[in-house]
Amino acid sequence: MVAETHLQAEDLVAPLFVREGIDEPQLIHSLPGVVQHSLDSVVTTAKRLVALGVPAIVLFGVPATKDAAGSGASDPGGIVQVALRALRDAVGDRLVLVPDLCLDEYTDHGHCGLLDRRGRVDNDATLERYAEVAIAQAEAGADLVAPSGMMDGQVAAIRAALDGAGRSDVGILAYAAKYASALYGPFRDAVGVQIAGGGDRRAYQQDPANRREALEEVRLDVEEGADIVMVKPATLYLDVLADVRAAVSVPVAAYHVSGEYAMLAAAARAGWIDRQAVALETLVSIKRAGADLILTYLAAEIAELLGADR
């Protein structure tokens, strides 16, 4: 009766991986219970999420081939574009379709942007690619696009590109405060990303030591036209999440990322913690800290549990 925070299926967003050229879903070793979907299985899963009351999915593509420019990301025949069309046909407007907008799944060097001749990420050249990807995703049926590459000016560039293409109806869920975290490892297994030369993303993602900087990143994204801003990862950054919630009036999302899920799943599998109890406590805490939406690999499982509890 006096609980201040109530977790609901409507708070959850399911990240889904769809892989080009497979007929059966493939297990992901470091993300037990999560799969790379085939086109068929991603559609089946989307329908199940609708039935469970989950309002949205974020879609990641695993292409069959990669190149320096990440061509598959903007190809109308690329896996995410193909999946978006199939999903829209299957679920109509009952699920908000949000493709992740980045290049790393599609580049052979594994960086989120294009590289210059010295092998460094070229921020401004990358913005032109993001614009192309945004238009391809909009044309394929995206409701929102979710830029995750952390290039400076990416929200403004994408907003201008969408508006210029007559797609002012497509919104932007901006990965605004995204940290250079060690918790993305299982995700990189899921999408087959290895950063060239054992590199990292510290030149474009945020330093985990910084709290005020997150507010600056969020402020810039809102000014540039973000409709929803996101903090990522979630549980180690609840202070940042609470700050962001207090600073903006747009909806705030938090991403409970692959490493956070993997730690929970591994300890539960070992019998050291109670999976459901810790999962619920984790998600309630993220909501309590200020998240309106939570991206989590637990979405279907917890939505089912919450539905059964009613």
Contact residues for ligand PBG, defined by CB under 6 A: 100, 102, 104, 112, 148, 184, 187-188, 201, 257-258
CB of 298 to ligand PBG, least distance (A): 12
* CA dist., res. 264 & res. 188, Å (int): 18
Structure tokens at 304: 């089912």
Straight-line distance from the first to the last Cα atom of the chain, in angstroms, rounded to the nearest whole number: 15
Closest to 182 measured CA to CA, from 170, 171, 169, 195: 195
Contacts of 288 (CB under 8 A, 6+ apart): 4, 5
Smallest gap from Cβ 305 to ligand PBG, in A, equals 21
- Residues acting as catalytic residues: 178, 232
Nearer to ligand PBG, 38 or 154 (CB): 154
Q: Which of 78, 46, 85 is nearest to 62 (CA)?
A: 78
Smallest separation, CB 241 to ligand PBG (Å):
16
> Toward ligand PBG, which CB reaches closer, 85 or 188?
188
Residue 166 or 198: which CB sits closer to ligand PBG? 198
Helix (H) or strand (E) holding 62: strand 56-62
18 touches 60 (CB < 8 A) = yes
Nearer to ligand PBG, 137 or 258 (CB): 258
> What's the one-letter identity of residue 285?
S
CB of 128 to ligand PBG, least distance (A): 18
Q: How far is the CB of 221 from ligand PBG (least distance, A)?
A: 15
By beta-carbon proximity to ligand PBG, the closer residue of 47 and 186 is 186
Whether the Cβ atoms of residue 57 and residue 98 lie closer than 8 Å to each other: yes
Alpha-carbon span 143 to 98, nearest angstrom: 6
